[in-house]
Structure formats: C-alpha cells, structure tokens
C-alpha cells in the first residue's frame, strides 16, 4: 500500500528566521513565505541642540518601540527612518519620524512608531530638548517657562510630524505618533525647548520606552546600532521575519 505525499506550492520560512536592517526610508513587501508575523524594533531619532557658543543646549534622545505584528504575505510595509535633529545657533530642530506603517503613513495604519527627541533652546543648561518615546514624550527644558510638552497617545503638536519648529531661540518638537510641542519664545522672558514625540506599539510582545536626556532608549539591545537615536543622530529599525 502506498500513501500519497502532500504537495506544497510554497514552503513557509520558520518564524523570525531572517533579519532586515533599515537605515533609510523604503517600502518593503512581506515575502510570500513569511510565517504571518514580523517583529519590529524601532529607535527614534535624536533632536538637535543650540550651539551659539554663549548658551548651548542639547537635543533629546529617541525612544524605543517593539511589537510582533501579524501581516499578510505580500503586504506593503512603509518604513520611515527619522532624520537627526539639526543643531542651530538659535535653537535645534526635533528628530524626524521613525516607524512602520501598513500601506501608507497615517496614524490609523501605524504598526510601530518610536518617538523622537525635541530640540534644545538657546538659553541655559536647563533648556535641553525632551526625550522621545513611551506613551508620552518628555517635556523640553526651559528658561522661565515656555517649554514644549511631549506628545501623548491622543494629542500633541501635530500628528506624525514635528510641530512648530525653531524660531527666536526656541527648540522644535520631536516627531512621533503625536509630535511634541515646539518651545515658545518671548524675548527677555523665556525660551523653551521642544518636547519629545510619543511612541506607539501594536501586536504582541510590545515595548514602548522613552529615551533619557540626550540618550536613546534600549541602547543595550543586541540589535542596536551604535550611536543611532542619540542627540543629533537618526533613527533605526530592525525587522525579524
């Protein structure tokens, strides 16, 4: 007696048998042999500081976000790598948007977003940008008032973008699921630094952590690339599939 052997048109790869490193924006198609889940690790970008020489400040570090999400084979995943915040003599800009999105870059399509750090203000040592990441980004520092608040899960400077940017010695907000507010500037009164953007996670095995000061979150991770997400450094993404 013989037994028929089943036939397969495709052989599924073992779950998380491959790794993809992402250092620039791209759109990635989930392979046909994918097991159905991908693991995304993302580090947000760091903000820039003020470098006038009289009053210097630092930008905030980026956050870390991770999740195992279910995706269909062939699905289009838009990967965004946040640009580093830029130093400026009158205040720094916040870090750009880092995250993974299903099909297009909208909040409703977000799979993972790592909050980015805010920009520092041209003021004093207490006017550093707030770190990004976590359910709420960290508020920026200030001279007398006017710092930018961090983005949250429901409000912030602007969805998926930095807020008002720099101007008149203030720091710009960091990007995130909701961006941080840019600092306010009232000459002779206060110059505020920008707040960090919030992170967002979905799926299973999730982590959503804010950076600390000028340093990115979770820099001890085995997949972390040295320097990414710290002050004045871009974001970074690793995908297991």
The span from the CA of 102 to the CA of 64, in Å, is 19
Lowest mean per-residue pLDDT among 68-82, 103-117, 147-161: 147-161
Which is more confidently placed, 166 or 151?
151
The domain limits of the chain are 17-241
Q: Is the pTM of this model over 0.85?
A: yes
Residue with tokens 């992170």: 199
DSSP H or E run through 200: strand 200-201
From the list 234, 235, 196, 231, the residue with the least C-alpha distance to 47 is 231
- Identify whether the C-beta of residue 237 lies closer than 8 Å to the C-beta of residue 41: yes
Tokens in use for 162?
């930095």
pLDDT, tens digit, 9 for 90 and up, residues 12-59: 556 889 999 999 999 999 999 998 999 999 999 999 998 877 788 999
- Identify whether the C-beta of residue 230 lies closer than 8 Å to the C-beta of residue 216: yes
pLDDT, tens digit, 9 for 90 and up, residues 60-106: 999 999 999 999 999 999 999 999 999 988 899 999 999 999 999 99
The span from the CA of 77 to the CA of 137, in Å, is 25
- Residue 166, classified by CB atoms within 10 Å of its CB into exposed (0-12), middle (13-18) or buried (19+), is buried
Tokens in use for 40?
């995304």
Residue 154, pLDDT score: 94
Tokens in use for 12?
């599924």
The span from the CA of 232 to the CA of 50, in Å, is 11
């Amino acid at each position: 007696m013989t037994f028929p052997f089943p036939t397969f048109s495709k052989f599924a790869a073992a779950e998380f048998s491959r790794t993809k490193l992402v250092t620039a924006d791209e759109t990635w198609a989930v392979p046909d042999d994918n097991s159905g889940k991908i693991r995304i690790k993302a580090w947000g970008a760091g903000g820039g500081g003020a470098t006038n020489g009289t009053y210097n400040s630092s930008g905030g570090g980026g956050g870390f976000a991770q999740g195992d999400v279910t995706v269909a084979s062939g699905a289009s995943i838009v990967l965004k790598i946040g640009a580093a915040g830029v130093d400026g003599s009158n205040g720094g800009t916040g870090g750009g948007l880092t995250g993974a999105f299903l099909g297009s870059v909208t909040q409703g399509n977000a799979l993972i977003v790592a909050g980015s750090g805010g920009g520092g203000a041209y003021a004093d040592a207490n006017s550093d940008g707030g770190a990004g990441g976590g359910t709420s980004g960290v508020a920026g520092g200030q001279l007398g008032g006017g710092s930018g608040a961090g983005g949250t899960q429901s409000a912030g400077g602007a969805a998926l973008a930095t807020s008002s940017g720099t101007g008149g010695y203030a720091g710009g907000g960091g990007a995130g699921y909701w961006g941080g507010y840019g600092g306010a500037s009232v000459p002779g009164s206060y110059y505020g630094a920008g707040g960090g953007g919030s992170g967002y996670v979905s799926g299973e095995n999730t982590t959503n952590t804010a950076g600390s000061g000028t340093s990115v979150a979770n820099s001890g991770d085995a997949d972390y690339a040295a320097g990414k997400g710290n002050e004045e450094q871009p974001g970074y993404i690793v995908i297991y599939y």
